[in-house]
Amino acid sequence: MPKLTGFEVLDALRAAERTRGTRVILLTSRSRETDVVRGFESGADDYIIKPFSPRELRMRVRALLLR
């Protein structure tokens, strides 16, 4: 993303009362354990590392929507 990182967008979503409850799946090429941990600590509902399987993505979205 050209102006903000996904982590910054997630932080902004979680900080704003109106969007605090928005479900978020981070889809990123950042695969280090520290990045995954940061994503979940920032409030991501799921974390998917590129390259990814479209089928797996559909299943994770479906699972998240059923929560």
- State how far the alpha carbon of 14 is from the alpha carbons of 2, 28, 43, 50, 59, in Å: 20, 19, 7, 24, 24
pTM of the model: 0.87
- Quick one: how far is CA 37 from the chain centroid? 11
Backbone dihedral angles phi then psi of residue 63, each to the nearest 5 degrees:
-60, -40
Structure confidence by residue, pLDDT tens digits, 5-62 = 999 999 999 999 999 999 999 999 999 999 999 999 999 999 999 999 999 999 999 9
Instruction: Count CB neighbours of 54 within 10 A.
Output: 7
Q: State which fold the 6-66 domain adopts.
A: Rossmann fold (3.40.50)
